[in-house]
Amino acid sequence: MKRRMTELNKKALIGFTGLFIVVSLLLFVGAWSVYYWQAWVFLGAFFIPALLITIYLAKNDTALLERRVSAGPANEKEKSQKRIQSVAQLAFLTIIVLPAIDHRLGWSSVPAYFMITGDLLIVAGYYVVFLVFGENTFTSATIEVAAGQSVISTGPYALVRHPMYSGALILLLGTPLSLGSWWGLLMVIPMVAALAWRLLDEEKFLSKNLHGYNAYQQKVKYRLIPFIW
């Protein structure tokens, strides 16, 4: 058991470190400068909450941590989700590198208070994700139904069916603002499309495979944004 925990923590650390390196390279190579203060602040706003959540899961919900570290197209079981994840990954990388290029070429002039707002949105998005993790230990990174899984309709799930995606949407909206790029906001559009595509496909899967999910859909009308959709 202890060895399994060590391997899980190692896998989570490797994944976290790898993502940090990739995002940092995209930012500073794209900007072709380390004198990009918006990127440094963004890295703090993005990775510190992510690290704190990872530590929390390692201490309090190792089953959920194990479900979360197996992310990406290669780990998806459904072919449709493999395609969706590939599109989402590409869009995410672009939403990072485009603002960096924008910074280097001076396309945008974003006031500092918008950048700070972007950082706050990133933290707020992570907070929503944290609330979701606290409510639902079955929040897997892949589309699946685990043994003993049941429908969760409390907490943020009482407002929307996919609150983790709602948190991700808030985070994504904050990213280009944090990095000082108006043009980067354009990349939020394909990210929203990928999120919508994924959750609609996920709902079809859960309707077929998770007992009580159809009744939950009738109870909670909104998928992503309360009172809108």
Task: Judge whether residue 63 has pLDDT over 90.
Answer: no
Domain harbouring 161, CATH code: 1.20.120.1630
When pLDDT is averaged across residues 120-124 and rounded to a whole number, the result is: 98
Kindly state whether residue 134 falls inside one of the protein's structural domains.
Answer: yes
Kindly state whether residue 229 falls inside one of the protein's structural domains.
Answer: no
Q: Name, in order, each residue with C-beta under 8 angstroms of 134's C-beta and a sequence gap of 6 or more.
A: 155
pTM of the model: 0.91
When pLDDT is averaged across residues 188-198 and rounded to a whole number, the result is: 89
The number of folded domains in the chain is 1
Contact by Cβ (8 Å): 110, 99: no
Domain that holds residue 42: 2-219
Helix axes 163-178, 37-60, angle to 10 degrees: 160
Kindly state whether residue 227 falls inside one of the protein's structural domains.
Answer: no
Q: How confident is the model at residue 12 (pLDDT cuts 50, 70, 90)?
A: confident
* Per-residue pLDDT reduced to its tens digit, 207-224: 999 999 999 999 999 999
When pLDDT is averaged across residues 106-125 and rounded to a whole number, the result is: 96
